[in-house]
Amino acid sequence: MNGNLSHARLKEMAKHRGLKVLKSRRRTPGVGDYGMYGLTDMSGRALIGIGDDGLTASAADIAAFMKSSSEQNWKKSAAETRGKAASPPKRPHHTPSPDKSRNETPPRRKPALAIVSSNKPDVVASKKLSRKPAREARLAVRSARASDAKGLAQLFNQLPGAAPKPAEIARRLALVSGTGGGAVVAVQAREIVGCGGWAVVPTLHRGLIGRITLLLIAQNKRRRGTGRLLLDAIADELRGSDCQQMEVLSDIAIDNSHSFFRSLGFEQTSYRFLRPL
């Protein structure tokens, strides 16, 4: 990659992560920190490549650092999502020791649940112990498969209009994959609870663009970090396809999705016009 392209791409990658790329101002090769880079957060705190005598990291160093940070944030977000479903730790039970000075036998503890017997009418049943809430199954994000078509058809019932049949969904998955795009699914307890799709669009003026064409979460699984996990997985796939930018299509009527994408660093840059063929 030439210097200008590398710098532009690094700036775009850093922008999506809330970071800032610094580039050496040296104009003469071999002088000082010519051609070197540094990376800070938005508050100016140095992350990599900031030395006492100038910048010290290469473009490859900066890209590798941001990719590694993205993967760590994805894993951390997944761990936090699973941690919310974990049951609270049990409080340690303490049994007071008897007072030996009084030489008394400690009272016998009552059973948590008394047994009601017809032979002993004087025994009284205590209240049933409340059951602990079941631990929520782990959430996993992976590439979509043809065998997911039936589960995707059920998820697509949330969209306006008639959902495509499983056979048609399987055909479209193969078509999308064959043209450079793809899809990922979020699975919990063997149920598909979310899906994200993308396409790689070659353009004359901006090169390869990764376009997110679908981000759908089951209604009872929203606001749990699932959408963020799907977007992180898609972003990693698009970086591997040498895309310079990532864009998303969002329905005008779904206002809450607009705020969601803005919170992740997306900016509204254009209008979308659609006409049936």
Q: What is the number of H-type helices and E-type strands within the chain?
A: 6, 10
pLDDT of residue 118: 43
Q: What is the pTM of this model?
A: 0.47
What tens digit of pLDDT does each residue of 49-67 get?
888 878 888 888 888 888 7
CA 228, distance to chain mean position in Å, is 3
Q: 159 or 131, which is more confident?
A: 159
Helix (H, G, I), strand (E, B) or coil at 255: helix
The answer to whether 192 and 168 are in contact (CB under 8 A) is no
Per mean pLDDT, which of 7-21, 50-64, 89-103, 138-152 is the most reliable? 138-152
Backbone angles phi, psi at 48, to 5 degrees: -160, 145
Q: 220 or 89, which is more confident?
A: 220
Q: How far apart are CA 170 and CA 267, in angstroms?
A: 33
Per mean pLDDT, which of 104-108, 223-227, 259-263 is the most reliable? 223-227
pLDDT greater than 70 at residue 32: yes
* 112: number of Cβ within 10 Å: 9
Per mean pLDDT, which of 23-32, 194-203, 236-245, 255-264 is the most reliable? 194-203
Q: List Cβ neighbours of 34 (8 Å cut-off, separation of 6 or more).
A: 24, 26, 27, 28
pLDDT of residue 130: 54
Q: How far apart are CA 93 and CA 116, in angstroms?
A: 27
**Lookup result for tokens 């979020």:** 186
The whole-chain average pLDDT of the chain stands at 77
Alpha helix (H) ranges present in the chain?
3-16, 59-84, 149-156, 166-178, 226-240, 255-263
Using CB atoms within 10 Å of the CB of residue 63, give its burial: 0 to 12 exposed, 13 to 18 middle, 19+ buried. Answer: buried
Tokens of 154: 């059920």
Q: Which region among 10-24, 47-61, 130-144 has the lowest average model confidence (pLDDT)? A: 130-144
* CATH code at 136-263: 3.40.630.30
pLDDT of residue 82: 61
What are the boundaries of each domain within the chain? 3-66, 136-263
What tens digit of pLDDT does each residue of 150-185 get?
999 999 998 888 889 999 999 999 999 888 899 999
Tokens of 22: 């610094």
Q: 186 or 59, which is more confident?
A: 186
